[in-house]
Structure 1
Amino acid sequence: MTNKLSEVLNYFKLVLLIGRSLVSLRHLFKNRYVLFNNGQIWNDSPTCGNNYVTNVIVKNKKIKLTRVQKISVSNGNSDEWDVSTLTALLLFIGRPKTLSTSEIQQLDQEDKLLEQLRDIRNKVTHSPKKSVDDVQFNQLWTDLAAILIAFGDVNTELEKQKDDSVFESPKQPVNEENMKDALRLNSLGTQAHKDGKYSEAVTFFTKATILPDVSNHDRATFYSNMAASRLALHEQQKASFIKFESLDAKDERYLALQDAKQARNLWPTWWKVHFRVGKVRAALDEHKKAINSLERAFALDHTKNEIQEALDESRIILSRQSPPKYLDSTEFTKAIPEILNELQRKFGTDPEMVRKYHSLIEKIDSSRADVLKGHKYALGDIDVKQDYEQAAKYFAKAVDQGNAEGMYNLARLTDYGLGVKKDHNLALKLLEQAAAQPPQNPICEQFPNVGVAESEHALGVRYFEGIAVRKDLSVAFYWYQRATDHGSAMAANNLGSMYLDGLAVDRDLEKAEELFVLGARRGDPLAMMTLAELLLSKNNFQMAKIWYDRACESGNVVAQEKRDQFAEQIEKRQQLINESSGDELKAVYLLEYLIGLFQAKHAPSVLSDHSYIKDYKMLSEHANRGSITAKQLCDAVGHFTHALNILLSFERLTEGQEDIFVHELAQCYRIENIVAQIPCQLHKRVSEVIDRVLYRCTKESNSVASQLDEDVRVCYVTLHINSYELIDEFLPLCKQKYPKSIYFFLTSGAVNGFLRRPEVGLYNINNGLEIEPDNCELLYHKAVLLRHLGRDIHEAITAYQKFLSVAPKDHRKVPEVYYEMAICYMLGYTPDLAIDRMMKLYMEGKQAEKLQLPCFLPYKSENIAYLKPMLDMEFIQNIRSVPDNNRKQHLTDPHRVEIIKKHREWEGKALQEKHISGYTVHSFTRKPRVKQQTAKSLIGLNPITLREIDPRKDQVYNGYVLSVTIIEKTYSWIPSIHLVIEDENFDCERMLVYGFPKKQGEYLISELYTIGSKMHIINPYLRIGANDMKPTIRVDEFSSIVMQNESERILNMCRYCCEANASKTCSRCQQAQYCSKECQIMDWKLYKHKLICQTK
C-alpha cells in the first residue's frame, strides 16, 4: 500500500511540475504578443481578450480550443489559462513575415520545447491509472526539468519539488479570529446549500474565501463547497426554465470551474477537489476531461462510491457521443405515430394494421402487452401522454414475467434515470438477465427475442468501456460476438473494429471487412461509413461511394459533414492512379500498407477458438516422443481441467474448494497460460471466486506471504491482463511480497511493453532473469523489449539468439523469433547489408514452422506482414491490385452463413410437412409496397449486382437486370417459392417468387428452379420483410424471370463451395453433392446440412 501511495504521489508531483511551467508560458506568450503585434502589450483585460478571439483565434483553423478555453481567453486574464490553452496559442498562432533570422531560430527552438512539454503533459495528464513508478518518474522528471530550465527556471528550486513536503500545507500565518469567522461562514453556506438556497450559499462561501490569513486546506474546502453550490444553482435555474443560449463568463458552470480549480491549486492531493473539477466538467459536457479528473480523485481514494458513480456516468455519456455506440440509436425521441408513419414511408407498412397486430399480440402474450404499454408511455402515443414512470412500471411487470424486451427497456430507463432512480449497477443486472433469455421468441420461434441481442451489445460496450464493471476486452468481445450472432448491427461493427485493430484477438482485416459489411447491411450507419473508408483504401471507388452515400442517407452526422471531403479523396486517388506509373503506384501502396500496420492498436490476444483439452491425446503422443513443449502443455491442461471440473461440479464452492481451484488455475497459468481458455459464460464466476480468495488473503494475512496468496495474485493478474493500468498498479506489491516469483516480473515486463514503456518493462524482465537466467519466456520478452527500444539492434539480436539456444525446437515462439530477428536487420541496417540476412532468417522461420506442434498450425505471425513487402516480390505486385473474385473467401461470410442456415431451417419444416401427417407450416404474406413490372426483352437493361442494391431500402430497380445462380432450392411452393441466389461476385441473398401459375408450382421447384440453374431477373425488387424487416429479392411479376440456357447451368454443384462436377454424395439423403470430404464437413458444420438431410 505504501508503494502504491508513493506512485500516486509521483504522479501528482509531475502534475505540479507541469503546472509550474505556467509562469514561463505566460511570460513567453506576452513576449510573443509584443513581437507579433508591433509592440502592443497584452494587459490581461477583457478588451484585449475579446479582440484576440475575434481577430486571431476565430480566423485560425489550427487553434482548437474548447468553449471553456475560449471564454478564458476572451476574459483576457492569462492567469486563468491552463497549460493546454497556452501551448495551443503559442504553437499555432501565425508569425508575421517581418521577423529576422535570429528571431525565427529562437521561436523554432522554443516551439520544439513547447511540443515536448505538450507531449509529456498529455502523457502524464491522460494516464488512466494516475500513478507513476520510480523508474518512469525519474525519466519524466529529468525531461520536464530540462524544458523548464531552458525556459528560465532554476534547477535547485525544481529539486525541492521532488520532496513529499510539497503536498503539506505551507507554514503560513493563521489569524484565529478570521479562521473562526471563515468556519462560521462555511457552516452558514453549508446549511443554505442543504436548504436549497444556493445563491445565498455562494455568497457565504465567497465571504469565507476572501478572508486573509486562513489555511490553504480550509480555503480549498470553501472553494470546493462554492463550486458545488454554483452547480446546484445552475440546475435550479434550468429547472426554472431559464434559457442558456451559450456558455459565457457569467455562467454558473464556468464560475464553478474556476472555484474548483482554485481549490485544486490549494490542496492538490485532496480527492474532493479533483472530484469537484470532474463534476463541473461533466456539467459542461466535457466528459473526457471529467473522466480524467475523476480518475485522479479515484487514485487518491478508492473507497468513495460517489467517484465511481460519477465515472460511470461520464463514461456512459462519452460512449453515447462517440463510437462504439451505447445501447442503440433509437433513444426516447420519436413518438409512436411518428415511428409508424416512418415505417409506412420506407416499407409501406400500414399503421392501422400494425396497431391491429399489437392488439392481437396483447391477447396472446400478457408480457408483450405490458411491453407495448411501456413503449406507449415511454414514447407517447395518440391517446397516451409521455410518462416515464408509468413506462417503467409496465416494463417492470414484463420483467417479472421473464420478458427480455421489458428487461432491456427497463435497463435503458434505469441508466438514464427516467421514471426510476438512476442506477447503473441495477441496469447491468437487467441487461445480464435479458441476455440470459433464449435468442428466439418463445411464442414465434421464427422471430428473434427482442431485447436479447440489444442487451448483449450493451454488455459488450460496458466491458469495452469499463462502465460499472472492470474493463475487459475479452469479455467485451464475447458479448459483441453473441450479439452479432443474434442479429445486432452495431455489435457487428464493434466486433469488426476489434478485428481491425487487433484488440483481444489476432488482427484479421478480411474478418473485419466481413463484419463491417454485415453491420452495414443490417443498417448501422457507422458500419456503412467505416466500410466505405475501407473500400476506398482498397481502391474500390464505386462501392466506397455507394456505402458512403448510404451512411449519409441513414443519418450518420459525421459522414454528412465530411461528404465533400470524402468525394475529394476519391477524386484524388483516381487521379493518382491515372497519372502514376506502375512502379510509382507500388511504392505508394507499399507505404500505405506499412502505415496501416503501424497504426493498428494491439492488445494481447486472449481469445481463441482452440481447445487444448481436446488436443490432450495428440500432445501426450508428442510428449512421449520427447517433446518438452508438448509435456508442458499436457501438464498445463491437467491443472486447467482439474480447476474447471471443480467449478462445474459444484454450484457453490466451499473455501477449501475455492483454494484448490485457485491453486490449479495458477499452476496452469505458470506453466502455459494460453491453455486456460475460460469460457466467457464462466468468466464472471471465475472472477468472483478469485476476488473472494484475494479478499480473504488480504484481510487475513496482509503482511504474511503464503502459497495461496501468491496463487490468487497470479490468477488475478492473468485474468485481467488486458487492463494494463489496473495490473500495473497491482504488480508492485506482488513483486515485493514474492521476490522469487518470476511470473510477476514476466507479467510486469509484458504489461509495460503494451503501455509503451519498454525501459520499465526491460528492468522487470532483467530482475526475473537474475532469478532464472535461462527462462525462455523472460528471454523472449527481453529481446522484444530491446527491439522496441531501438537503441542497440545488435543487443536485441543477441537476446533473440540466446532464446534460440535454450528454447525447445518446437517452442511456439521459435518461428516468430526468426521473423523478429529479420525485422531487426530491416530496422538497424542498410538494405544492401540486411537483405540477404533477412531472407535467410525468413526461410529459417518457415522451416521452424514445420517443427511446430499441430495445435499451433497453421502458424500465425503478425511480423510476416512487415517482411513480405521486402522479401516477396509477388506480394508487392498484388499489394493493392483489385483482387479477383474469390469464392473461397465468401464461403464463411457471416451474411451468407445466416441466409443459408435460415433458409434450411424453413425448408426443414417444409420437409417435415411432407413426411409427417398432420404437420403444417403456416405462412402468409403481405401486399408489397410497390409494383414490379417486366420489360419486353433484356436489350437496353443495365446490369446490377447484389452489392449495388441497397439492402435497407424497399425499392424496385427499374431498367436493370440481376443475373444470378440458384444455390439453395425449395421443397414447397405455397404461398411462394423460397430460393437462395448468388451473383457474379459470389454475394448471396434470399429470393421469393410469387405470381406463378399454381398448377406449375411442383414443376417449377423440381425441374426449373433447381440448384445450379441460372436466371436473369428484370427490374429486380428489393423487398424489406414486413415482419422480420430483412431484405429479400422478391418477384411478383412471374414473366420478369428469364431462365438462362440449360448449357449455362452448373452441373452437379457442390452444396458447400458451389463448384461444378461434385463427385461425392451424402450417404444419408442421397441428394447433396460435394467436391470433397472437407466440403461435406463444412456444409454440415457451417450451413447445418442436418436441417434438410432426410433419408429417402
Structure 2
Amino acid sequence: MTSVSKNVRNYFKLDLLIDRSNLKLRQLFKNRYSLFNNGKVWDDSPTCGNNYLTNTIAHNKKKLNLTPVEKTSVASGDSNEWDLTTLSALLLNIDRPKTLNTAQIEQLDNEDRLLNQLREIRNKLAHHQKKSIDDVEFNQLWTELSTILVAFGYIDSELDKLKDDSVFEFSSQSINDENVKEAKKLNSLASQAHKNLNFSDAITLFTKAIVLAGVPDHDRAIFYSNMSSTRLALYEQESESSNNFEIEDSTDQRYRALCDAKKARALWPTWWKGHFRVGKVYTVLNEHEKAINSFERALTLDPINNEIRKALDESRQIYGRQIRQEHLDPRLKPTTMSEHLNEMQQKMGTNPAHVRAGHALIQEIDPAGADVVKGHKYEHGDIDVKQDYEQAAKYFAKAASQGNAEGMYNLARLTDRGLGVEKDHNFALKLLEEAAAQPPKHPIFNAFPNLGVAEAEHSLGLRYAEGVVVHKNLVAAAYWYERAVDHGSAQSANNLALMYLHGTGVDKDLDKAEQLLQLSARRGDPNAMLTLATLLCGKNDLKMAKNWYDRACESGNIIAEINRPMFEQALQVIQKLVDCCPPNLLQVINPIKNAFDSLQTGKTAYKRCDHPYIYDYNVLNGYANRGSITAKTLCDALEHFAQALNILTQSESITETQENIFVHELAECYRIEHIVAQIPGVKMYKKIVEIVDRVLHRCNVESTSVASQLNEDVLICYALLHIDSYELIIKFLGSCKQKYPKSIYFFRLSASVNGWLHRYEDTVFDANTGLEIDPNYYELLYSKAVALRLLDSDMNEAIEAYRAFLAVAPKDHRKVPESYYAMAACYFYIHKLDGLAGIVKKVYKQAEDAEKVQLLCFLPYESDNKTLLKSMFDAQSLPDAEIVAPRRDHKLRLTNPHRIEVIKQHREWEAKSSFVQNNATLDLISGSHQPRVRQQTAKSLIGLKAISLKEMDPTTDHVYDGYVLSVTIIEQTYTWTPSIHLVIEDENFDCERMFIYSFPDGQGKYLTNKVFTIGSKMNIINPYLRLGGTDMKSLVRIDDFSSIIMQSESEQVLNMCRCCGEPNALHVCSKCKQARYCTKECQTIDWQLYKHKFICQRQ
C-alpha cells in the first residue's frame, strides 16, 4: 500500500470504517424484526429469509425496490452477507407496527436519522470518480462517521485504530506452511482446470484451498478472486440465455461469484483485482452503475491497468444507454431492410421499388455509397440477404477506406459493440473523429446531407458527456452536440436542450432549451416530444402540452404511453388551478416562475457559453490605456494565452522544454483571468490535455513531495482542463492546497467548485483561508459573498460581504453589477414586498448604473437576480384590476434554430437557382415527389377554423381540412421552377417553408415580383403540411392554387425589417440597396445568423 497515495489511502480507510457499521446494523435489524413481529427471533435461516421476502417485503414493495442480488441475499436469510445498501434499505423502508409507544417511536426516528446520514456519506464516497480524499475532508468525514457509529454502540478509541496505515498491512496470522503449500498447489490445479474448461472441478479445488487453516489472507483473496471468475465462466457455459438477469436463488453461480468477489475484496481491500472482480460480476448482472463504482476503485489502485480501463469504458457506455432508455426507443428497434422501406413508404410515401432501383444505379455513380447500402443489407438482413455482421463490417470498412462518412460511422458503431469485428472503443473513437471531419454536404449529391457526419458528431458528444475513452468534458460534449444539431441531428438537439434546461456544461437558458426541444421534436425525436410536453405543462400551455404528449405516444414513446393516465390527471389538476386564476394575472406570474426556475441551476464549472468572450486585444488595450483595470487584466491574460498557443502552432511536435514553457504560459493566463482561454476546437483541446498530462507525469516521477513552479503550474492547468468533473477535481484541489498552502489560486478554484457542488460552508472556509494570504483578493471576496447569500442564514452578513468585494474590485469588474443585483435580492428577502419601494430599488438602480461602465465584451449584461427582481417590479407596478399580460419578447424568436435553418436554406436555394438561371451555360435540374395526399379547396368558407403552425404536426403528412392558416411572407423569392418557394410566418411568429405548385402557366415571374412579396399576407384554406420527399422536413405545400386567398394590400407590412419583421424599417443594406432593417442589431443578426450574403448581390 506504500505505493498508493495518501489521499487514496484516506478513501479506503473511510470505506473500511463504513464496512465496520454492518455488524451493528445487522443487530439493529434483528432487534427491529423482533419488535415488529411480537418477539420472533431472526435466526439467519433460509426459511426465515423466504418468509420475510414473501410477507413483509412484498407488502412494502412500493417503498422498497430491491435488486435481484439483494432479494437473493435476503431470501438466503444470512444477515452476515448483507451489506450497508441492503441493511439500510430494509431498516428504513419497512412499515412500523401501529402499536409502538412514544419512546419506541422516538428511538426509531433517531436511528433512522443516523442511518440516513450514514447512507448519505456512503453514497458520497461511492460516487467519487477519483476515489481520493485529502486530509481536511478525511478528518471531517471521519468525525461524522465515527459519531454515527459511536451512537450505534461502537467505542471511539477502537474506531481510531482504523486511521493507522497498518490496517492495510496483513495482520500477523498463525501460518501453517504445509497448508500454504497445499493451498497454492490446489490453486494451481484449479487454474489449470479452468483453462481446460473444467469449471466445476476448478471450483471444487478452489474451495478446498480456501478452507485450509493457516493460509495468509492475501492468498485466500487470490483464491476467492479466481473462484469468482470461474463461477462466471461456469454460468456462461451452462446458461441458455445471456439476457436473463434475474437470480433465482443463492445457488445461482452469479450470486456465488459476487459473494466470492466481495470476500476477496474484504480480505485484501487495497488489491485492485478484488474490486475488479466485483465489477465484472455486476456487469454480468447488468448492474452497470455498481460496476462502474467498482472499476473506478480498481483503477485508483492500479491507474495504468488497461484491462480495468476497458471494462470501465464498456460499463460507462452501457450505463449511458440504460439512462437514455435506448431499449425503449422505437427508432433503435431492429428491422430488416424490407421493413425499413415499408415504414418509409407509410410515413413518407416513398415507393420501395423506386428506392431499390436507386440502390442498383448508385454503384456506377457512388461506389462507396453502394458499399454502405450492401453493409446495411448485411447488418439488418434483406429479402435476398441473410444477416451477417462480419460481412456488414467488411462493406462499411470498404466504404470508409474511400472516405465515406457513413461507412466510417457505421463501422465505428459495430466496432463499439463488437459486432462482426473485435470490440475496440479506441478504434471506434478514431473512426468517429474521421467521420465528423468530413464535409456536412454529400460530396457527389451536394443537395443532400453527408450521412454519417451528424451521427458521428452526436456519438462524440455522448462520449465526452459520459467519459468513454476520453476525459469527461461537458464543454466538449456541448460543442459536438451543437455541430450535430447544425447538421440535422434530432438526438443532439434533445441532449443539448437538456443541458440548457439543467445548466450542465452550458449556462442555464430555459428559452433556448425550449427552442431546441421544439427543433428536436420537429425532427421526430420521441424523447424531446415528451420533455417538451412536460415543459409546456409547467408554462400552463396545456393545449400544446397535450398535443406534444399525444405525438410522443404516436411516435412510439413507451414511457409516454405508460404514463398517459398520470399526465392527463396532472393536466386536469393544472387546468382547475388555471380556471381559478385570472388569465392576466397568470401571464404575470409565469415570467416570475421562470425567473425562479432559472436560479435553480446545478452549476457546472467552466461552461461553454452561447455568447463567448470574443476579445479584441486592440480594443481592450485602448480601454486599458484609458485607465480600465479590468481591460488591462484581460490584456495581460491574453498575452500569456497567445504565447501558449504560438508554441503549439509553430510545429507539429514540441520539445519537453517547450512543453514546460507552454504549461507556464497557460497557467499564468488562468491565474490572471481564465475566461480569455477560449481553446479553438476539440482537437486543440485534446492536444493541450495530452501535453499537460505528460508534464504532470514527469513532475510526479521526478518528485512527489518537493514543490516547484512547474509543478504548481501544471496542477493549475490540470484542474482547469478537467474541472467539469468537479467531484474528482475538488479532491485534486485538496492535495494542491496542502502542497502549496501559499498559492491563493488553488483556494479560489476550490471555493468556486465547492459552490457549484452547493457546499457553501466549504466555499466560505476556502475563501476565508485564502483571504488570510491576501485580504484584498477580490475574487475570493466575491465567492464568499455568493456562498453566504446561498446559505440563506444571514442576509445582512452576505450584504456586508458583497460590500467588501465592491470596496476593492475595479468598477468595471464583470461581477460588480451582479453584486448589486444580488444585494438587492438580499434586501428583498429581508423586507419582502415592503422593501420594493425603498432600499431594493435603490440598490437595483446602482446595479443598472454599474452596467453602464462595463466593457462591451460583457454586454448585454445577464443576471438571474436582475430578471427575478424586474419581474417582481413589473408585477407590483400595476393594481390587480389593471394587470395585463407582459408583451412577448418577439426578438427571442430570432435565435430560434428552426427559424435560422429555414431562412438560411431558403436563401441558399434562391441564390443557387438564380445563379443557374442567369448563366446560359448551366441548366437548373429540379423535380418534386408526388404528394401522399391531395389538398383540395373547401367548397364553402363558412365554418373554417383558424389554425397556427405550432398546432400542425411537423412529423406527419396531413391535410388540415376545415381549417385556415393565416400567414405573412417574410422572405423574397426569385425563382419558380418547379415551385415557388416562400418563407411564411404566422401570428405566433413561428415560421415555415411553403412550396406553391400548380400555379397558372406563365405567371411565375409576375407572382414572385408582384404578389408573393415580402410583407404580403395570405390565408391558406385546408393547408397541407407535407414532409419533404428528400429531406423529410416539414413544409406547407400548395397543390390547389385557389386555396390561397391574398389579404388586401392595406394589410401588407410595408418596408418590413428583413430580420425581425417590424414595419417601416429605416436602415437599408448598403450593398444590395433592397434589404431593410429597423436597427443595426437586426442587420448584424441577418448577416451572421441568416446569411444575408447568399442573396445580397442578387437583390
Residue 1044 of structure 1: aligned partner: 1047
Counterpart Cα distance in 2 of 1:874 and 1:278: 58
Cα distance per residue 1:242-263 (max 9 Å; x no partner)? 9777644332212211111121
Residue 887 of structure 1: aligned partner: 890
Residue 19 of structure 1: aligned partner: 19
**How big is the shift at 1:417?**
0.6
Residue 368 of structure 1: aligned partner: 369
Q: What secondary structure, in the 3-state scheme, does the structure 2 residue paired with 1:1015 have?
A: strand
Residues 569/766 of structure 1: CA separation in 2 closer, same or farther (3 Å cut): same
Counterpart Cα distance in 1 of 2:79 and 2:879: 57
CA contact (8 A) 2:771 2:777 kept: yes
Amino acid at match of 1:435: A
**How big is the shift at 1:969?**
3.3
**How big is the shift at 1:308?**
1.1
CA contact (8 A) 2:812 2:853 kept: yes
Residue 410 of structure 1: aligned partner: 411
Written as runs of structure 1 = structure 2, the 5 A alignment for 1:1021-1036 is 1021-1036=1024-1039
Amino acid at match of 2:54: T
Amino acid at match of 1:467: V
Residues 826/169 of structure 1: CA separation in 2 closer, same or farther (3 Å cut): farther
CA contact (8 A) 1:993 1:1038 kept: yes
Residue 171 of structure 1: aligned partner: 172
Cα distance per residue 1:178-230 (max 9 Å; x no partner)? 22222111111111222222222222212222223322221111111111111
Residues 454/327 of structure 1: CA separation in 2 closer, same or farther (3 Å cut): farther
Counterpart Cα distance in 1 of 2:400 and 2:933: 39
**How big is the shift at 1:991?**
1.2
Amino acid at match of 2:490: A
Q: What secondary structure, in the 3-state scheme, does the structure 2 residue paired with 1:641 have?
A: helix
Cα distance per residue 1:815-859 (max 9 Å; x no partner)? 222333445556678887999554443333232222222222222
* Aligned equivalent of 1:924, options 902, 921, 927: 927
**How big is the shift at 1:418?**
0.7
* Aligned equivalent of 1:971, options 971, 974, 977: 974
* Bigger Cα displacement from structure 2, 589-598 vs 225-234: 589-598
Residue 854 of structure 2: aligned partner: 852
CA contact (8 A) 1:826 1:835 kept: no
Amino acid at match of 1:1002: K
1:684 is aligned to 2:691 = no
CA contact (8 A) 1:909 1:921 kept: no
Residues 834/332 of structure 1: CA separation in 2 closer, same or farther (3 Å cut): closer
Residue 54 of structure 1: aligned partner: 54
Written as runs of structure 1 = structure 2, the 5 A alignment for 1:684-703 is 684-700=686-702
CA contact (8 A) 1:885 1:985 kept: no
**How big is the shift at 1:406?**
0.7
CA contact (8 A) 1:869 1:875 kept: no
**How big is the shift at 1:300?**
1.7
CA contact (8 A) 1:608 1:677 kept: no
Residues 199/267 of structure 1: CA separation in 2 closer, same or farther (3 Å cut): same
Counterpart Cα distance in 1 of 2:327 and 2:135: 38
1:1077 is aligned to 2:1085 = no
Counterpart Cα distance in 1 of 2:400 and 2:491: 24
1:939 is aligned to 2:942 = yes
Written as runs of structure 1 = structure 2, the 5 A alignment for 1:565-644 is 565-579=566-580, 596-597=597-598, 599-608=600-609, 614-644=615-645
Counterpart Cα distance in 2 of 1:770 and 1:812: 24
Counterpart Cα distance in 2 of 1:260 and 1:88: 22
Residue 667 of structure 1: aligned partner: 668
**How big is the shift at 1:937?**
2.3
Cα distance per residue 1:889-935 (max 9 Å; x no partner)? 21221001100110111111121123221222211112222222221
1:7 is aligned to 2:22 = no
Amino acid at match of 1:596: D
* Bigger Cα displacement from structure 2, 893-902 vs 1010-1019: 1010-1019
Residue 31 of structure 1: aligned partner: 31
Q: What secondary structure, in the 3-state scheme, does the structure 2 residue paired with 1:58 have?
A: helix
Counterpart Cα distance in 2 of 1:589 and 1:1080: 32
Residue 98 of structure 1: aligned partner: 99
Superposed CA RMSD: 2.9
Amino acid at match of 1:578: D
Written as runs of structure 1 = structure 2, the 5 A alignment for 1:418-567 is 418-567=419-568
Query: Which one scores higher on RCO, CA 8 angstroms, separation ≥ 6?
Result: 2
**How big is the shift at 1:556?**
2.0
CA contact (8 A) 1:435 1:453 kept: yes
CA contact (8 A) 1:185 1:207 kept: yes
State the identity as a percent. 60
Residues 88/531 of structure 1: CA separation in 2 closer, same or farther (3 Å cut): same
Residue 960 of structure 1: aligned partner: 963
Amino acid at match of 1:715: C
Cα distance per residue 1:302-343 (max 9 Å; x no partner)? 121111111100110011112397999754721111111111
**How big is the shift at 1:882?**
7.0
CA contact (8 A) 1:316 1:326 kept: no
Amino acid at match of 1:34: S
Counterpart Cα distance in 2 of 1:715 and 1:110: 45
Q: What secondary structure, in the 3-state scheme, does the structure 2 residue paired with 1:606 have?
A: coil
Counterpart Cα distance in 2 of 1:862 and 1:996: 52
Residue 903 of structure 1: aligned partner: 906
Counterpart Cα distance in 1 of 2:1031 and 2:835: 63
Counterpart Cα distance in 2 of 1:169 and 1:544: 63
Residues 835/303 of structure 1: CA separation in 2 closer, same or farther (3 Å cut): farther
**How big is the shift at 1:537?**
0.6
Counterpart Cα distance in 2 of 1:876 and 1:426: 63
Counterpart Cα distance in 2 of 1:73 and 1:42: 12
CA contact (8 A) 1:324 1:494 kept: no
**How big is the shift at 1:125?**
2.0
CA contact (8 A) 1:370 1:394 kept: yes
Residues 509/929 of structure 1: CA separation in 2 closer, same or farther (3 Å cut): same
Counterpart Cα distance in 2 of 1:398 and 1:144: 59
Cα distance per residue 1:472-521 (max 9 Å; x no partner)? 11111111111111111111111111212222322211111111111111
Q: What secondary structure, in the 3-state scheme, does the structure 2 residue paired with 1:963 have?
A: strand
Counterpart Cα distance in 2 of 1:814 and 1:2: 49
Counterpart Cα distance in 2 of 1:243 and 1:703: 51
Counterpart Cα distance in 1 of 2:971 and 2:582: 45
CA contact (8 A) 2:328 2:558 kept: no
1:151 is aligned to 2:152 = yes
Q: What secondary structure, in the 3-state scheme, does the structure 2 residue paired with 1:981 have?
A: strand
CA contact (8 A) 1:586 1:877 kept: no
Residues 718/686 of structure 1: CA separation in 2 closer, same or farther (3 Å cut): same
Written as runs of structure 1 = structure 2, the 5 A alignment for 1:605-1004 is 605-608=606-609, 614-681=615-682, 682-700=684-702, 705-732=707-734, 734-735=736-737, 737-789=739-791, 795-824=797-826, 837-865=839-867, 867-868=869-870, 873-874=875-876, 885-1004=888-1007
CA contact (8 A) 1:945 1:963 kept: yes
Residues 330/409 of structure 1: CA separation in 2 closer, same or farther (3 Å cut): farther
How many residues were matched structurally? Answer: 1096
Counterpart Cα distance in 1 of 2:274 and 2:357: 57
1:336 is aligned to 2:310 = no
1:398 is aligned to 2:406 = no
Q: Where does the alignment leave 5 or more consecutive residues of structure 2 unmatched?
A: none
CA contact (8 A) 1:480 1:494 kept: yes
CA contact (8 A) 1:783 1:797 kept: yes
Residues 1076/150 of structure 1: CA separation in 2 closer, same or farther (3 Å cut): closer
**How big is the shift at 1:1053?**
2.2
CA contact (8 A) 2:129 2:728 kept: no
Written as runs of structure 1 = structure 2, the 5 A alignment for 1:182-221 is 182-221=183-222
Counterpart Cα distance in 1 of 2:135 and 2:592: 39
1:356 is aligned to 2:357 = yes
Amino acid at match of 2:667: A
**How big is the shift at 1:885?**
4.8
**How big is the shift at 1:1035?**
1.7
Residues 2/439 of structure 1: CA separation in 2 closer, same or farther (3 Å cut): farther
Residues 727/988 of structure 1: CA separation in 2 closer, same or farther (3 Å cut): same
* Bigger Cα displacement from structure 2, 690-699 vs 200-209: 690-699
CA contact (8 A) 1:456 1:482 kept: yes
Amino acid at match of 1:966: I
Counterpart Cα distance in 2 of 1:24 and 1:542: 56
Amino acid at match of 2:774: E
Amino acid at match of 2:34: V
